[in-house]
């Protein structure tokens, strides 16, 4: 998952919206070997993205995909960046990753705005087995498509919703450091499904 998020962080314009990034992630993980992707209406509805043409237009304007026929169901699109096909190991593993990205344990949010969901997803992909987790603040802001200030505000919201126990920005190392609530640390049902490593996909 980190590899795919890193790829999108480079392939998409810096301030591509979080909702467009979430849509691009699902497209990239569900594409076939020719760059063709089909997204069921139920998936888009569950992500609260169905009928949102602006997101498709945003990705098309970036030259990342060709605009789909908005009348067709399921939604179908062609990805224009051939590099996307080199970012994940195989179709089955990518499908598992696509499902995990919808519920990125241990940071699953039942309902939240795209910016908060994307931030939780990026953190989940960088969460390890230790009690304290960290990543470079610049990497975090780039993968989320925000400024450092916006990212800090979103991390504060994750603490307010008790998705995180706490977080801090270590200015000496420029790392964002966070802790999960104790209950999540103990249960660790958080691990991605068998055969799927969030940190490596």
Above 60 in pLDDT, residue 112? yes
The pLDDT of residue 199: 38
- pLDDT-derived band at 19 (thresholds 50, 70, 90) equals very high
Top-ranked range on mean pLDDT: pick from 23-32, 103-112, 123-132: 23-32
Of residues 168 and 33, more confidently modeled: 168
Virtual CA dihedral for 39, 40, 43, 45, nearest 10 degrees?
110
Tell me: pLDDT of 183 over 60: no
Mean pLDDT of 31-38: 90
In SS3 terms, the chain reads as CHHHHHHHHHHCCCCCCHHHHHHHHHHHHHCCCCCEEEECHHHHHHCCCCCCHHHHHHHHHCCCEECCCCCCCCEEEEECCHHHHHCCCCHHHHHHHHHHHHCCCCCCCCCCCHHHHHHHHHHHHCCCCCCEEEEEHHHHHHHHCCCHHHHHHHHHHHHHCCCCCEEEEECCCCEEEEECCHHHHHHCCCCCCCCCCCCCC
- Of 24 and 87, more confident: 24
What integer pLDDT is reported at residue 185 of this predicted model? 47
pLDDT recorded at residue 105 = 85
Give the pLDDT of residue 48: 76
pLDDT at residue number 184 = 52
* 126 confidence band (pLDDT: 50, 70, 90): very high
Mean pLDDT of 138-149: 90
- pTM for this prediction: 0.85
Give percent above pLDDT 90 in the chain: 53
The per-residue pLDDT of the chain, averaged, comes to: 85
Question: What pLDDT, in 10s, does the model give residues 37-92?
Answer: 998 888 888 887 776 889 999 999 999 999 888 887 888 899 999 888 776 567 78
Q: Is the pLDDT of residue 197 over 70?
A: no
Q: What is the structure's pLDDT at 89? A: 66
**Is 166 a residue whose pLDDT tops 90?**
yes
Pairing state of beta strands 132-136 and 166-170? unpaired
């Amino acid at each position: 998952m980190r590899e795919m998020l890193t790829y999108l962080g480079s392939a998409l314009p810096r301030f591509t919206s979080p909702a467009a990034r979430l849509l691009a992630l699902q497209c990239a993980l569900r594409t076939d070997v020719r760059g063709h992707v089909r997204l069921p209406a139920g998936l888009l509805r569950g992500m609260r993205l169905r009928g949102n043409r602006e997101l498709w237009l945003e990705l098309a304007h970036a030259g990342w995909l060709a605009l789909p026929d908005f009348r067709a169901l399921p939604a179908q699109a062609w990805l224009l960046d051939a590099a996307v096909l080199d970012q994940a190991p195989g179709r089955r593993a990518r499908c598992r990753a696509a499902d995990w990205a919808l519920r990125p344990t241990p940071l699953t949010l039942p309902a939240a705005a795209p910016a908060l969901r994307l931030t939780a997803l990026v953190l989940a992909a960088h969460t390890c087995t230790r009690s304290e987790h960290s990543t470079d603040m610049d990497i975090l802001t780039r993968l989320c498509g925000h400024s450092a200030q916006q990212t800090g505000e979103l991390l504060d919201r994750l603490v307010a919703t008790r998705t995180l126990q706490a977080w801090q920005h270590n200015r000496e190392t420029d790392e964002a450091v966070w802790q999960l609530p104790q209950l999540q640390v103990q249960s660790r049902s958080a691990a991605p499904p068998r055969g799927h490593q969030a940190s490596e996909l």
